[in-house]
């Protein structure tokens, strides 16, 4: 039977690619979207991950359509880049609220059904920036590094119940998020990527499919870099 999957921020970019990859592998996929329309052919549930009620409703709708959520991908994320002396408090806390606290809200709600089923896969989308740091991204790097400590603690809590918790750390991926960077910034990043190209969203999606699948049954608490070597395994 198809597994019930929920991908946050699954209406575009990396999240959409993950949703399509898992749907193609036979899963019943629900995606959350905040703005616009849900993508063609996928079950869309409206949700802002900064709202605990939205997250709860999104899970309830996905469960009503596809059954208890067995695989969750916390992918929704934002950047609000600026150097620290210019960074207002809400520029810091907004990014933490979406990226880190949002992942907490999603994983917490997901764990309810997974604990009952005694199985599940929780996958969090972090970033190479969590390990490398990045000037102008103290808020983003803190949120993404926080996800790793969160995931590893949760992996310890849920391991005995057959639930794995893993992190995917993409490098530089071709989406709207990176499209805003200046060509010079892009060229500079490219120089530091051993594989010599930026990632396509599908590169990340395939790693997520692996962690969500049977072949990754004995992997938990891991951080899987998908960065063309940019972070050299960190």
Q: Which residues belong to the active site?
A: 140
Q: Strands 223-226 and 69-74: what pairing?
A: unpaired
DSSP 8-state class, residue 92: H
**What is the rounded distance in angstroms from the CA atom of residue 15 to the CA atom of residue 202?**
10
**Residue with smaller CB distance to ligand NDP, 184 or 214:** 184
Rounded to a whole number of angstroms, the minimum distance from the CB of residue 212 to ligand NDP is: 16
Rounded to a whole number of angstroms, the minimum distance from the CB of residue 153 to ligand NDP is: 19
Alpha-carbon radius of gyration of the chain: 17
Could you list the residues that contact ligand NDP (CB under 6 A)? Answer: 8-9, 11-15, 32-35, 47-50, 75-78, 98, 125, 127, 170, 172-173, 175-178
Rounded to a whole number of angstroms, the minimum distance from the CB of residue 160 to ligand NDP is: 29
Bridge partners, 69 (sequence order): 4
Q: 212 with 222: CB under 8 angstroms?
A: no
H or E stretch covering 4: strand 4-7
Rounded to a whole number of angstroms, the minimum distance from the CB of residue 74 to ligand NDP is: 8
**Residue with smaller CB distance to ligand NDP, 161 or 186:** 186
**Residue with smaller CB distance to ligand NDP, 46 or 161:** 46
Task: Give φ, ψ of 181 to 5 degrees.
Answer: -75, 145
């Amino acid at each position: 039977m198809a597994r019930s999957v929920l991908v946050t921020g699954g209406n575009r970019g990396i999240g959409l690619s993950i949703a399509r990859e898992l749907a193609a592998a036979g899963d019943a996929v629900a995606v959350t979207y905040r703005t616009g329309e849900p993508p063609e052919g996928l079950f869309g549930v409206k949700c802002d991950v900064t709202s605990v009620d939205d997250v709860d409703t999104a899970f309830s709708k996905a469960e009503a359509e596809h059954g208890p959520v067995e695989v969750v991908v916390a992918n929704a994320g934002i950047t609000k880049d600026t150097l620290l002396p210019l960074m207002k408090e809400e520029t810091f806390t907004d990014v933490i609220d979406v990226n880190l606290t949002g992942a907490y809200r999603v994983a917490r709600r997901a764990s309810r059904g997974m604990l009952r089923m005694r199985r599940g896969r929780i996958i969090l989308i972090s970033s190479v920036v969590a390990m490398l740091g990045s000037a102008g991204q103290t808020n983003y790097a803190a949120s993404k590094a926080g996800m790793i400590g969160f995931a590893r603690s949760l992996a310890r809590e849920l391991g005995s119940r057959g639930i794995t918790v893993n992190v995917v750390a993409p490098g530089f991926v071709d989406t709207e998020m990176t499209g805003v960077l200046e060509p010079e910034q892009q060229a500079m990043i490219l120089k530091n990527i051993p594989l010599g190209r930026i990632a396509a969203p599908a590169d990340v999606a395939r790693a997520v499919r692996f962690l969500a699948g049977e072949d990754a049954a004995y992997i938990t608490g891991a951080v899987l870099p998908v960065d063309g070597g940019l972070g050299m395994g960190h």
